[in-house]
Amino acid sequence: MIFLFSCDVNLPGLPSSKNQTKFPRLISNSKGEILLSWFEEIEPDKWALMSSIFSNKVWSSPNVITKNKEYFINWADFPSTNYINKDTLVAHWLEKSGPGTYDYDVHLSFSFNRGADWTSSQIPHATLIKGEHGFVSFGIGKSMHDVVWLDGRNMIMDHSKEDYGQMSLYHSSFTSNGNLINEYEIDDRVCECCPTSSVRVKDTLVVAYRNRSLDEIRDIYIARRVGDTWEKSYPVHNDGWSIAGCPVNGPMLSANNSNVALAWYTSANGNPSVKVAFSTNSGKNFSTPQRVDLSMPIGRVDIEWISNSEILISWIEDGDDSSNILARRISLDNNLSNETLIEKIPPGRVTGYPQMEVFNENVLFAWTENKKTSAIKSKWLPISDIGK
């Protein structure tokens, strides 16, 4: 393992705040910008969803997307902002819908001036039955776009019951001006609380998610919509992970033209591992997976293309006295670089899902730390320093 103790990248860290902050999300766009969203405590126990854009090596002044609502704030299921086109952005968050712990809805809001102002929110799911709705991912096209979420309309919220129903995977399309259309059920039985991941490759939407079979096998599946036609979902690889409850560990996709990279965590047969597989045909099928970790991973993966033939993957691994964010490079022909320690972080769920985005020849990492108060931390590193 390679250890990185310092770097000389002359790029600014994330926007600072004297308030508590948590659960950053980093998403890049085709213009080479990075969109950042995060929760910030603006009064005791009152939170706002904030956004900023990294452009021309500068972070924009933070803007408020929404504030003072009854948000469902969760380490694994947290908001995002996504670039659509020109000055148009879409943001999502989760908002409580009832008295139950897991009564919450997905909310979408649009900005047509790069985040300065945001529309009133709307809910993409057609039913307002109280229950869980979350783990959202987006596929951004040219004029029509996609939003995917886990939908608990068929679940009983008391998970202590032996048969508590099943979580479903849903999709809706929306236009660049924010009109939602065509709700569609992709899969009627999926893992209850594993994040989803979606990418668009021209007219093809590729969705990765953790399935749930009748005998509690929870492996990663791919669903594709080619044009207007949904294809039958299929397992990327038959890991055979049998587990009675949700591991809260979803897959991540990244697309580069028709090449799609997929990373995920499994613990089949009690053997925890992080795997990567590639598709060269827009997700129609994937290569035999390659294991990338060397020790005791706990997952929470991220993945980004750094060239036309190589990706960067990050994950969390258990250490002796901390958890560690690790990363390494892997090529389309499965050549692996050395493993690199990015940062030692506090153990547990408080760090959320560490984020990673590429900017030119550098990569930005972000995560949450909670000592006396919650705060977002970040680090820039040259890509060339990872996996030497």
Looking only at the bridges linking them, the beta strands covering 340-345 and 2-3 are parallel
Report d(CA 202, CA 226) in Å as an integer.
9
Predicted pLDDT of residue 171: 99
Instruction: State the sign of the Cα–Cα–Cα–Cα dihedral 275, 279, 283, 284.
Output: negative
Instruction: Please check whether residue 250 is in contact with residue 194, taking contact to mean a CB–CB distance below 8 angstroms.
Output: yes
Question: Of how many residues is the chain composed?
Answer: 388
Output the 3-class SS for 275-321. EEEEECCCCCCCCCCEECCCCCEEEEEEEEECCCCEEEEEEEEECCC
Report d(CA 56, CA 38) in Å as an integer.
21
What the block records as the tokens of 141 is 């096209």
pLDDT in tens, the chain (388 residues): 444 444 557 899 999 999 999 999 999 999 999 999 999 999 999 999 999 999 999 999 999 999 999 999 999 999 999 999 999 999 999 999 999 999 999 999 999 999 999 999 999 998 888 999 999 999 999 999 999 999 999 986 555 555 678 999 999 999 999 999 989 999 999 999 999 999 999 999 999 999 999 999 999 999 999 999 999 999 999 999 999 999 999 999 999 999 999 999 999 999 999 999 999 999 999 999 999 999 999 999 999 999 999 999 999 999 878 899 999 999 999 999 999 999 999 888 989 999 999 999 999 999 999 888 899 999 999 999 999 8
Instruction: Please check whether residue 81 is in contact with residue 55, taking contact to mean a CB–CB distance below 8 angstroms.
Output: no
Q: Please list, in sequence order, all residues whose beta carbon lies within 8 angstroms of the beta carbon of residue 260, skipping any fewer than 6 positions away.
A: 199, 201, 206, 253, 254, 278, 279, 282, 283, 286
- DSSP annotation of 99: S
Instruction: State the sign of the Cα–Cα–Cα–Cα dihedral 108, 109, 112, 115.
Output: negative
Distances (CA, A) of 200 to 141, 142, 380: 6, 10, 27
Q: What is the DSSP string of 188-248?
A: EEE-TTPPPEEEEETTEEEEEEEB--TT-B--EEEEEEETTEEPPPEESS----B-SS---
Q: Please list, in sequence order, all residues whose beta carbon lies within 8 angstroms of the beta carbon of residue 268, skipping any fewer than 6 positions away.
A: 239, 240, 241, 242
What the block records as the tokens of 213 is 């079979």
SS3 269: helix
Instruction: Please check whether residue 192 is in contact with residue 155, taking contact to mean a CB–CB distance below 8 angstroms.
Output: yes
Predicted pLDDT of residue 9: 79
Q: Within 13 Å and on the Cβ side, how many CA atoms surround 218?
A: 22
What the block records as the tokens of 67 is 């504030």
Predicted pLDDT of residue 182: 87
CA geometry: angle at 139 spanning 134 and 143, to 5°?
125
Report d(CA 284, CA 84) in Å as an integer.
25
Predicted pLDDT of residue 269: 96
Scanning the structure block, which residue is given the tokens 């996504």? 82
Instruction: State the sign of the Cα–Cα–Cα–Cα dihedral 306, 310, 315, 320.
Output: negative
> Which residues on adjacent β-strands are paired with residue 375?
369
Q: Spell out the domains of the chain, with CATH numbers in brackets.
A: 20-190 (2.120.10.10)
